[in-house]
Structure 1
Amino acid sequence: MLERKNIEFPLWRKKVDKSLFGYNGTTIPNWACDMWKLPETFADVSSKKDEGSIVKINFNSTLYDGWVTSAKKGRRSPAYRLWYDESLSLELKHTFLMSYMRSLETNLSSRKTTDIEKTIPFWEFLDIEYDSSKRLFKFCAYYTQEPSFPELFKRLVQSSAIQRIDDEIANKGEARIHKQDWMLRSALPLQQGAKNVIYTLIDTRNKLIYIGEAVDLVKRLSANYASIPHWDYFRYDVLPDVFAPHRVTLERMIIRDLAALLPNKKHDNNICISEYILANTKIDS
């Protein structure tokens, strides 16, 4: 592999492992802290709430928010950690797909990281530079492992099933709604595992929109819809399990809200904000 020629600042070439994906941050090794002279700037910064922790991170020509903190309690020398926002974490999962999937496998199994790296042997690397004058970290994917099924893996990273597994591993116990972007109808088979959802269907040719709820998204949308048979796009939100008893109530509320804004078969006293027509026929008064 050819060495990069555009390195501008002192470099840490980090082997990509599960530490990169957990908790939206990574611990910085002591030698890199010294190389970047982080103690001079961040020695007394212990919280992301401290304005002194704020940095920027450049990855693929996009700037992301970041923070550097120092943890001293119970340590012979402070531990420095670089934090980044959720959007960058998602981009890293997309870029290092194979390492991310392997990290999920590690956390779901009883095997240690070293064991699974022997079982599934490959390595990916992230180059990290730091421009102290601008408080700017530069991320660059130095080496990535090509996934066996690249398009499938890319879509899986965004899927609600993977997001829920990620939450489970990270012990995110609070009620979280996993929201999905618009997808073509052809993407429906890839949504296996999407349970307890509220979904939206769009027919872009006939200007129709439909709201529904389902225990199992794929099973529900595989059926024919008389109200909107030619839908071509869909999106959905996965509700937390505690909302399951209230799923239908939430669906009815959303339908009624849209009925106040779109033409429909039941209500005339609406303020139309779009040429789309609400295709639902069961609309509360």
Structure 2
Amino acid sequence: MGSYYKKIDKSVLESGKITIPDDEINLLLDVSKMNVGESIDLILQFNNRKYKGKIAYKNRNSKKNKGKPYYQLTYELGLTKELKKEFIQTFLAIETEKISCNESEKYHITSDNINREVVKFQAKHENLITVSPFLKIGTEYDRLFQKIIEMNLLDLDKNDKEKDIISYSSTWIPISDLNKHKEVKNVVYYLVDTINKEVYIGSAHNLGKRVKPNREEIPGWNIFKYEVINPKYTGLLVKIEYHSIRAFASFLDNVGGESSLGISEYKLNNKVWSKCK
């Protein structure tokens, strides 16, 4: 086992699907017994957070490469977003290419002619791969663009994504990491107290201004997640929040007195129901 180094490109930052050469795949995983069509589940760790992924052995669909299987590393989109914030220089070059291609301009900087940034994938032990920057080009504007990416303001792929109400859904995050997400805008959030088995749902134009430790409605909450609403639909933010509350109330016992299936030991702590009906 060892490390695999990959130049940052669209496969790393957008699709989360990376083709790994046959002569380098064993740096990450023993694939000697893998057959075409099989895959192995992995955990990828970046900045002390873990993301689901897998390595698959796949057949190519193109006529040119028919019969030449390949190894593909894939990971969840939450990691692609974090990598965009890490490799600002390449991400902005890729976005510039998109804009310039649409406008038929030829003078733009591209991801092919800048000094490429590089990410390192390192096998730690069975089915765990750490992800870290190997070559990173910093600028004085990095912090600004990290915030812009966090708020999804540079999501320029407008084809199908314009139709999606939810533009980003986070994983479950410990309360200790709340400060890392306090500037996120236009979200429906979910607070959970895993000790007392309680859930609370809310919405916020700024996550950090609404979500705080020891909140009155659920003082013992210790993990949270959030969904970022597509800017096109921010006018529906509160309605989306109420829809989520109604959905949870139909399954969980709740303090609002709504009938539910009671399928979990968790209880919904939202009290205001008149606005939700």
Identify whether the pair has TM-score above 0.5, normalized to the shorter chain. Answer: yes
Give the number of the structure whose residues are more often helix, by fraction.
1
Q: Which residue of 1 aligns with 2:211?
A: 221
Q: Which runs of 5+ in 2 are unaligned?
A: 22-35, 44-53, 97-107, 122-128, 138-144
Q: Cα gap change, 1:248/1:58 in structure 2, threshold over 3 Å: closer, same or farther?
A: same
Contact 2:151 2:185 in 1 (8 A): no
Q: Pick from 238, 262, 269: which aligns with 1:248?
A: 238
Q: Which residue of 1 aligns with 2:47?
A: none
Matched, 1:164 2:156: no
C-alpha separation between the residues in 1 aligned to 2:80 and 2:155? 17
Q: Pick from 134, 150, 166: which aligns with 1:145?
A: 134
C-alpha separation between the residues in 2 aligned to 1:280 and 1:89? 30
Q: Give a deviation string over 1:72-116, Cα, whole Å, max 9, x none.
A: 9xxxxxxx9x8968637777888x889844421433565444664
Q: Cα RMSD over matched residues?
A: 4.9
Identical counterparts, % of pairs: 23
Q: Which moved more, 1:191-200 or 1:82-91?
A: 82-91
Q: Which residue of 1 aligns with 2:103?
A: none
Q: Pick from 97, 100, 103: which aligns with 2:90?
A: 103
Matched, 1:230 2:220: yes
Matched, 1:258 2:245: no
Q: Give a deviation string over 1:42-90, Cα, whole Å, max 9, x none.
A: xxxxxxxxxxxx9667796943375635489xxxxxxx9x896863777
Q: Cα gap change, 1:71/1:197 in structure 2, threshold over 3 Å: closer, same or farther?
A: farther
- In structure 2, what residue type is equivalent to 1:107? I
Q: Highest Rg: 1 or 2?
A: 1
C-alpha separation between the residues in 2 aligned to 1:18 and 1:195? 27
Q: How does 1:109-120 map to 2 (within 5 A)?
A: 111-113=109-111, 116-117=114-115
1:221: how far off?
A: 0.8
Q: Cα gap change, 1:99/1:58 in structure 2, threshold over 3 Å: closer, same or farther?
A: farther
Q: Give a deviation string over 1:203-257, Cα, whole Å, max 9, x none.
A: 1222211010111112211376321122111111111112211121121122122
Tell me the TM-score normalised to structure 2 length.
Answer: 0.58
SS in 2 for 1:104: helix
SS in 1 for 2:56: strand
